[in-house]
Structure 1
Amino acid sequence: MLDAIGDQILYVGEIGAGNTAKLVHNCASMIIRSGIAEVFTMGVKAGVEPAALWHALRQGAIGRARTFDRVGDRYLQEAFDPPSFALNLANKDLRLALELAEQFDVPMRAARLVQEDFQEALDRGWGNRDSQTPLLLQNERAGVTIKLSADEVQGVLDRG
């Protein structure tokens, strides 16, 4: 029966865990797509042709990686030092992007929320840590600890 509605059947835990995993996956998908639409409208309104912009996004470091694999490198392991891209530098780029959006009158609701977290992380002195460090703020707000070992992350990646 499950094969009829999905292309991969995975066991994620006891009864109800599958539904939770599905909701988490679908919600992440919706948030990511909304964020892409936000930044895409900024790029197009600033004069970049849509196909060229999409190509550039796909060829960037994040665009070439599987989105969910990237969170295993830093966030899921709480491995923010040394940074691959320092929060200070990411914040500069975010600020410049928001300035560009303002120049072209493009609303950037999601990016402004990210900016708030970046600012809080900077206020805590995390500027020289990795740009994923602000994700820890959500853990704090939710009252959870998320930390996998490198072997646990690799084990998930190895399963495909």
Structure 2
Amino acid sequence: MRIGFIGLGTMGGPAALNLIRGGHELTVCDLDPKRAEEHLSLGATWADSPAATAQGAELVFTMVFGPRQIEQVVGGDHGLLSAMSAGQVWVDMTTNKPAYVRELAATFAEIGVQVIDAPVTGAVDGARAGNMTQFAGGDEATVARIRPVMELMGPLHYMGANGSGSITKLASNQLWAIHATAMGEALVMAVKSGVELSRAWDALKIGASESWCMHHDAPSVFAGHYDPSFNLDLCKKDLGLIVEACNDADTAAPATRLVCAQFEAAREKYGGDKGELHVVKLEEDAAGVSLRLDGDWVPHWEK
């Protein structure tokens, strides 16, 4: 297929490479042309604007920071809305506001463009390996038609009407944030109480305490870099969307609100550019405990 891809950041860049390797013809666009060097070397074409990216494409993907950036991609003389036409499909993989996704879908439907919201999870190693989980909302027949393309980037789960993919992604991030905070509290409590860290980690990776976070993210804490591939500014953006979704659904969500405050405290103390797992360092510092652990902790984005 002829595909346009806008946003070649931490997740988008590897995802686009998987589409090229899958035999598709890509036109790519990003604020930083340097991010496209590998894509261009593999045969992709560069575009200077979202409109140019969509020109002649059957399918357009976007993966940018958040709702404000999508507004910029869509609007104006060089935005997607000015360039797309009947028969094209736009898949937005951004972590976005569900209500805004539904609004965009209705607007693009007026010109005959199908919009699918398909935000992703699975960290950088998942994106690199083609194992990036996608939660799709929108027309089911359209999702079925483009499924072979999307599955080059990873598993695809159809969640329902427009907005359903975005809600599912927010719920996924909601659980991750709670798990990450709880992981820090549990490891710090165990270590400060006299349990050797490696033994505590081995035990907490099994049984009722097992989680993807404990398996995948604890090594970033042990190594002391706290996973800079996703920073606390991005956490603030996502948690803001999550709390907004809780408010819209009229749910109490007390654990979510407490965790949101912890991430904000970490952001204020260490800086928004620091790795997401500094929420664990916040607990370490408060307790006077270090969770450094000797080992060959290869960063997940290098795997």
Give the structure-1-normalised TM-score: 0.51
Structure ranking higher in strand proportion: 2
Matches of 2:213 and 2:261, distance apart in 1: 22
Aligned runs of 1:105-124 on 2, under 5 Å? 105-124=250-269
SS at 1:147's partner residue? coil
Larger radius of gyration: 2
CA displacement, residues 1-49 of structure 1 (integer Å, 9 cap, x when unaligned): xxxxxxxxxxxxxxx969x959x739x94696xxxxxxxxxxxxxxxxx
Task: Answer 1 or 2: higher relative contact order, Cα 8 Å, separation at least 6.
Answer: 1
| Runs of 4 or more consecutive aligned structure 1 residues displaced over 3 Å after TM superposition | 28-32
CA displacement 1:120-144 (0-9 Å, x = unmatched): 1121242101111111111122221
Partners of 1:87 and 1:129 within 8 A in 2: yes
1:74 counterpart (220, 223, 237): 220
- Cα pair distance change 1:31/1:114, threshold 3 Å: farther
Q: Which residue of 1 aligns with 2:277?
A: 132
CA distance in 2, matches of 1:113, 1:31: 22
Residue 77 of structure 1 aligns with an amino acid whose one-letter code is A
Contact 2:221 2:280 (C-alpha < 8 Å) held by counterparts = yes
Kindly provide the amino acid, as one letter, of the partner of residue 275 in structure 2: D
Q: Which runs of 5+ in 1 are unaligned?
A: 1-15, 33-65, 155-160
Distance change >3 Å, CA 76–CA 89, structure 1 → 2? same
Give the aligned partner of residue 25 of structure 2. Answer: none
Q: Secondary structure at the match of 2:217?
A: helix
Distance 1:17 1:125 in 2: 28
Q: Which amino acid aligns with 2:256?
A: A
The alpha-carbon deviation at position 70 of structure 1 amounts to: 1.6
SS in 1 for 2:230: coil
- Cα displacement (A) at 1:107: 1.7
The alignment of Structure 1 onto Structure 2 pairs a total of residues equal to 102
Asked if the contact 1:94–1:115 (Cα under 8 Å) also holds between the matched residues in 2, the reply is: yes
User: Are residues 1:88 and 2:247 paired?
Assistant: no
CA contact (8 A) 2:231 2:275 kept: yes
Q: Measure the CA separation in 2 of the matches of 1:17 and 1:73.
A: 18
| Higher percent of residues as helix | 1
Q: Could you tell me which residue of structure 2 aligns to residue 99 of structure 1? A: 244
Q: Percent identity?
A: 27
